[in-house]
């Protein structure tokens, strides 16, 4: 209730009126006649973006858990490679990583003649496996660093107590350590997922058809520049809003101390 | 040296990366210089926006606060690539139209300036949040004490707020600088000849995709590691006289 | 002598209409991505190629102070309308679609579009033969429009940002065929990486999509620049400069009325 009242302050009403005016101006002054023709393609692209986002975030997070654990408590021969991996991923542009994986690996194929006959070839020919791999590794690199902090911030006493009760090590990890670590990172996880969403358009450069590449297609076909980009920005804002809401729901379900 | 390279089978790569033509190393370094120039400019421009943005968010009127909230939310929700395209095409178009309306004719906007302006606006949104958090972390009593002594607002900012918030802002700003260096790679998409585009051109011309992308990755990594070391020193300097934070968040 | 008079006429009109156009430098936009043998960056950082030399010749003949400005191909038309460049001379074909947005000078070369595929593959440049295949094309080109119109129903179309990357994937075997300009492709199949492949033949002409030759793109209403470029093109064609440059790069003429 108070939220709605906050919207009714005079200056906000003026701002909203200006905003509505802007939207109406955009609707009438700009060209939107291309929308019906490209709508099916856009829906497909939007679906592909969301699908890539979810898949790579989940896979990346699963990879981040061992990476974080290795850095937090692992012996040097595990923690050193994990740290190196995170440093490399975080220290180089994602665009370069994507191109290295796709074109770099691709340029090696002709030197391996048997690869075209292998079972994996139908997948190696596609672009999306490389996109998924690159985005997964990227998410894992950033999240691995976050998980390292999360694992080391779990109270030692609790782990010792579990140990004293004779809890097996894996059960202890699954029941006590991991849940608390995840609870610690939950507030940052939403932000990280939005960053991942913002990374997805880069895969359009390796021929994956997602929502960004649809806007490029509209631009290439019709030479309309701003309208598809504006609509694209609105789409991304809506997805980012959804992610924020979703993680807020998650956080509400986690009991606070 | 040559023998080692030969035995490792890297002679061809070394030749491709040599600094003098026919090697492409010189092009990569030129690209790196461009990248750093833009990253530096964008970081500075972003910091300037961030300083005004943070003051606006903390001390500004209701309208300014709302407008700044829209700015930071939009920028942080839309992919940099899309923002760069919008700002790059719309921005220069608008500037030209405005200056022509005023009768100045066309403004020459170099690639570097366009890159700085585009990335700076993106950086500004993040810098606003970082600096706002840092200013809020400065104990209120210090600012009040300065006011009580009749310090004018600008001097207050220069002498008290900025030095006191430095230690809180440095980690966030270090992160922003790294983002700035990496985001310059996105300018390759709009055809700006920074490190990533130079790499792409070299790779396409020689077909040595693997060699060049790895070399560029190494260059970016060197920049990252070097900046990390520099920022660690800055942070140490900014923290001088403060109790150690190690273990404080336990 | 006649050509000089033409140039002078062009310049006179240029000066009359805009006043300052001839004194200012003219930014000629070329694609920032290499497009050999027309325009590519060499290891010392200078642009070389047939088109770069022709641009020089045309500008000298038209007495224009030209500066070559590399711009991303995918955004080259927005760069022109957004006034970052003054003319596009990047092997851009004169098509009906583009004429809705920008103006063109007279053509300065024209070549057919061809299909290139692996030597071992039995592919003809027809929709029937390409059905079920993967075709790579460069974004925002006439080839993209053509492939979408003629092959899009039955074949998978992959969109690359540069022709070089499409060629690279053809070499790597990720795509079955690519459609591109015959001269650029002759250059490619003659190279080491292109030895895998051969030109399968030109696609059936459709002038409404493939256009009528390559011209210099200028902003709508910038008639002064268009006229001086036309004068320059006429001059280099008439005095043999065009043929001389062509003879150094190609074995056959690439200009026909």
Chains near C (3 or more Cβ pairs under 8 Å): A, B
User: What mean pLDDT comes out for the span B207-235?
Assistant: 93
User: Considering chain C, what percentage of its residues have pLDDT values greater than 90?
Assistant: 69
Task: Dump strand ranges (E) for C84-133.
Answer: 87-88, 103-109, 113-118
With bands split at pLDDT 50, 70 and 90, how would you rate the model's confidence at B230?
very high
* Alpha-carbon distance A36 to nearest alpha carbon in chain B (angstroms): 22
Q: For chain B, say whether C164 makes contact (Cβ under 8 Å).
A: yes
Tokens of C166: 């499409």
Sign (positive/negative) of CA torsion C17, C20, C25, C27?
negative
Are C82 and B200 in contact by the 8 Å Cβ rule? The answer is: no
pLDDT band at C12 (very low <50, low <70, confident <90, very high): very low
Comparing CB atoms, the residue among A99, A198, A229 nearest residue B213 is A99
Q: For B185, which of A11, A93, A241 is closest by C-beta distance?
A: A93
Percent of chain C with pLDDT over 70: 91
What are B27-43's pLDDT values in tens digits? 999 999 999 999 999 99
ipTM over 0.90: no
Q: Which pLDDT belongs to residue B9?
A: 63
Give me the pLDDT at residue B89, please.
78
Is the confidence at residue B149, as pLDDT, over 80? yes
Q: Is the peptide bond before B27 cis (omega within 30 degrees of 0)?
A: no
In this model, does residue B248 exceed pLDDT 90? no
Q: Are B41 and B180 in contact (CB under 8 A)?
A: no
The pLDDT of residue B111:
75
Looking at residue B189, the DSSP 8-state letter turns out to be: G
CB contact under 8 A, A219 and C168: no
Tell whether A123 is within 8 A of chain C (Cβ): no
Task: Reply yes or no on whether the pLDDT at C8 is more than 80.
Answer: no
Closest CA to C217 of C3, C61, C56, C26: C26
Contacting A with CB below 8 Å, chain B residues are 62-63, 66-67, 74, 76-83, 85-86, 89-90, 178, 182-186, 188-189, 196, 199-200, 203, 207-210, 213-214, 216-217, 220-221, 224-225, 249-250
- Chain B residues closer than 8 Å to C83 by CB: 92-93, 96, 106
- b/e code B112-142 from CB counts within 10 Å (16+ = b): eebbbbbbbbbbbbbbbbbbbebbeebeeee
Distance CA C182, CA C113 (A): 5
Give yes or no for C1 touching B (CB within 8 A). Answer: no
Residues 182-201 of B with CB under 8 A from C: 189-193, 197, 200-201
Nearest CA-CA distance, residue A223 and chain B, Å: 13
Q: What is the CA radius of gyration of chain C?
A: 19
* Contact check, Cβ <8 Å, B182/A93: yes
Asked if the C-beta of C182 comes within 8 angstroms of chain A's C-beta atoms, the answer is no
Q: For A190-236, what is each residue's pLDDT tens digit?
A: 899 999 999 999 999 999 999 999 999 998 888 888 899 999 999 99
CB of C248 less than 8 A from some CB of A:
no
Q: What is the mean pLDDT of residues B83-101?
A: 81
On average, the pLDDT of chain C sits at: 88
B158 vs C108, more confident = C108
3-state secondary structure at position C166:
helix
CA A121, A126, A131, A136 dihedral sign is negative
What is the band of C13 on the pLDDT scale with cuts at 50, 70, 90?
very low
A223 contacts in chain C (CB < 8 Å): 77, 97-98, 100-101
Kindly state whether A217 is in contact with chain C, defined as any CB-CB distance less than 8 angstroms: yes
Could you write out the three-class secondary structure of A101-141? HHHHHHCCHHHCHHHHHCCCHHHHHCCHHHHHHHHHHHHHH
Q: What is the pLDDT of residue C10?
A: 44
- C168 interaction partners in chain A (CB closer than 8 Å): 103, 106-107
- How high does pLDDT run on average in chain A? 91
Q: Does C37 touch chain B (CB under 8 A)?
A: no
Nearest CA in chain C to B105: C20
Which parts of chain A fold into alpha helices (H)?
Answer: 2-7, 10-29, 35-73, 76-91, 94-99, 105-106, 121-125, 128-152, 156-164, 169-172, 178-199, 211-222, 226-253
Q: Of A5-9, B176-180, B228-232, C53-57, which range is least confident?
A: A5-9
Per mean pLDDT, which range of A204-218, C20-34, C198-212, C225-239 is the poorest? C20-34
Contact A104 B82 (CB under 8 A): no
Best-predicted range by mean pLDDT (B11-25, B100-114, C96-110): C96-110
Interface membership of B79 toward C (CB under 8 Å): no
- In degrees, rounded to 5, the angle at the alpha carbon of residue B219 between the alpha carbons of residues B215 and B224 is 145
Question: Closest Cα to residue B197, out of B5, B51, B32?
Answer: B32
Per-residue pLDDT at B6:
62
Name the strand (E) or helix (H) holding B118: helix B111-137
Cβ separation B93–C81 shorter than 8 A? yes
The answer, yes or no, to whether residue A29 has pLDDT greater than 80, is: yes
Residues of chain C contacting residue B187, judged by C-beta atoms under 8 Å apart:
none
Query: Is the omega angle on the peptide bond into residue B22 within 30 degrees of 0, that is, cis?
Result: yes
Rounded Cα distance between C188 and C164, Å, is 9
pLDDT tens-digit profile of A73-86?
A: 889 999 999 999 99
Stated as kind and residue range, the H or E segment containing C137 is strand C134-138
- Checking if the pLDDT of B239 tops 90, the result is no
Q: With CA atoms as reference, report the closest residue to C24 among C96, C79, C100, C85.
A: C85
Task: For CA atoms A68, A72, A75, A81, give the dihedral sign.
Answer: positive
Confidence label for A57 from pLDDT (cuts 50, 70 and 90): very high
Touching B: C residues 87-146, CB under 8 Å: none
pLDDT category of residue B156 using cuts at 50, 70 and 90: confident
Q: Which residues of C touch A208 (CB under 8 A)?
A: none
- pLDDT at site B162: 86
Q: Does A216 touch chain C (CB under 8 A)?
A: yes
Separation of alpha carbons C132 and B86, rounded Å = 37
- What pLDDT is attached to residue B3? 64
Q: How far apart are CA B22 and CA B34, in angstroms?
A: 21
For residue B93, give the chain C residue with the closest CA: C82
Could you please report the per-residue DSSP string of C167-235? HHHHHHTSSSEEEEEHHHHHHHHTSSGGGGEEEEEEPPP-HHHH-SSEEEEE-TT-HHHHHHHHHHHHH
Say how far apart CA B66 and CA C88 lie, in whole Å: 42
- Measure CA C146 to chain center: 15
C174 touches chain A (CB under 8 A): yes
Torsion of CA B4, B6, B8, B12, to 10 degrees: 130
The per-residue pLDDT for C6 is 46
| C31-69: b (≥16 Cβ within 10 Å) or e | bbbbbbbbbbbbbeeebebbbbbbbbbbbebbbbebebb
Contacts of B183 in chain A (CB under 8 A): 93
Segment C120-126 shows an average pLDDT of 91
Query: B196 to chain A: which residues are within 8 Å by CB?
Result: 93, 95-96
């Amino acid at each position: 209730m108070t939220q709605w009242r906050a919207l009714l302050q005079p200056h906000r009403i003026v701002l909203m009126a200006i905003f509505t005016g802007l939207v109406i101006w955009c609707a009438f002054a700009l060209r939107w006649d291309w929308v019906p023709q490209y709508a099916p393609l856009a829906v497909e692209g939007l679906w592909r973006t969301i699908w890539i986002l979810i898949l790579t975030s989940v896979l990346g997070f699963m990879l981040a858990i061992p990476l974080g654990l290795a850095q937090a408590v692992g012996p040097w021969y595990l923690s050193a490679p994990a740290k190196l991996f995170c440093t490399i991923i975080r220290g180089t542009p994602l665009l370069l990583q994507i191109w290295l994986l796709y074109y770099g690996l691709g340029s090696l194929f002709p030197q391996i003649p048997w690869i075209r006959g292998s079972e994996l070839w139908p997948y190696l020919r596609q672009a999306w496996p490389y996109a998924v791999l690159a985005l997964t590794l990227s998410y894992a690199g950033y999240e691995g660093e976050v998980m390292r902090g999360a694992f080391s911030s779990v109270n030692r006493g609790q782990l010792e107590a579990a140990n004293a009760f004779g809890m097996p090590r894996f059960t202890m990890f699954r029941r006590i350590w991991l849940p608390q670590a995840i609870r610690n990172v939950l507030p940052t996880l939403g932000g990280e997922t939005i960053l991942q969403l913002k990374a997805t358009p880069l895969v359009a450069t390796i021929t994956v058809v997602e929502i960004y590449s649809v806007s490029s297609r509209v631009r290439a076909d019709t030479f309309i520049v701003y309208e598809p980009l504006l609509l694209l920005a609105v789409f991304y804002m809506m997805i980012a809003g959804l992610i924020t809401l979703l993680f807020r729901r998650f956080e509400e379900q986690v009991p606070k101390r | 040296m040559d023998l080692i390279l030969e035995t490792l089978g890297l002679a061809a790569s070394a030749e491709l990366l040599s600094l003098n033509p026919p090697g492409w190393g010189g092009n990569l370094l030129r690209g790196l210089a461009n990248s750093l120039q833009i990253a530096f400019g964008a970081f500075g421009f972003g910091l300037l926006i961030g300083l005004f943005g943070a003051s606006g968010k903390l001390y500004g009127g209701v309208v300014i606060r709302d407008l700044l909230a829209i700015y930071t939310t939009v920028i942080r929700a839309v992919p940099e690539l899309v923002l760069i395209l919008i700002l790059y095409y719309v921005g220069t178009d608008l500037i030209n139209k405005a200056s022509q309306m005023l009768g100045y004719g066309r403004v020459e906007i170099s690639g570097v300036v366009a890159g700085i302006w585009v990335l700076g606006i993106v950086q500004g949104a993040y810098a606003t949040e970082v600096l706002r958090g840092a200013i809020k972390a400065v104990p209120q009593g210090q600012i009040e004490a300065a006011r009580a002594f009749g310090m004018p607002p600008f001097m207050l900012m220069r002498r008290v707020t900025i030095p006191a918030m430095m230690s809180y802002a440095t980690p966030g700003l270090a992160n922003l600088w790294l983002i700035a260096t990496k985001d310059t790679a996105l300018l390759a998409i709009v055809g700006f000849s920074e490190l990533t585009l130079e790499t792409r051109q070299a790779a396409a011309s020689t077909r040595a995709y693997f060699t060049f992308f790895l070399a560029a990755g190494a260059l970016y990594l060197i920049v990252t590691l070097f900046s990390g070391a520099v920022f660690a020193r800055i942070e140490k300097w900014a923290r001088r006289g403060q109790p150690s934070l190690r273990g404080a968040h336990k | 002598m006649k050509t000089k008079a033409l140039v002078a006429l062009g310049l006179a009109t240029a000066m009359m209409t805009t006043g300052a156009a001839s004194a200012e430098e003219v930014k000629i936009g070329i694609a920032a991505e290499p497009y050999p043998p027309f325009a590519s960056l060499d290891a010392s950082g200078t642009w070389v190629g047939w088109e770069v030399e022709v641009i020089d010749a045309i500008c000298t003949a038209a007495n224009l102070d030209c500066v070559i400005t590399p711009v991303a191909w995918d955004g080259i038309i927005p760069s022109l309308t957004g006034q970052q460049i003054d003319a596009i001379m990047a092997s851009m074909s004169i098509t009906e679609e583009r004429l809705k947005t920008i103006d063109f000078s007279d053509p300065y070369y024209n070549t057919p579009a061809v299909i290139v595929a692996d030597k071992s593959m039995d592919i003809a440049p027809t929709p029937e033969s390409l059905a079920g295949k993967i075709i790579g094309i460069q974004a925002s080109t006439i080839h993209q429009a053509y492939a979408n119109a003629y092959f899009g129903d039955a074949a998978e179309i992959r969109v690359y940002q540069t022709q070089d990357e499409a060629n690279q994937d053809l070499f790597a075997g990720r795509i079955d065929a690519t459609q591109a300009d015959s001269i650029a492709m002759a250059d490619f199949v003659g190279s080491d990486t292109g030895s895998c492949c051969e030109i399968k033949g030109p696609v059936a002409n459709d002038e409404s999509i493939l256009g009528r030759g390559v011209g210099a793109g200028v902003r709508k209403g910038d008639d002064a620049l268009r006229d001086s470029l036309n004068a320059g093109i006429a001059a280099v064609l008439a005095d043999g400069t065009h043929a001389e440059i062509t003879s150094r790069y190609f074995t056959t003429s690439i200009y026909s009325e």
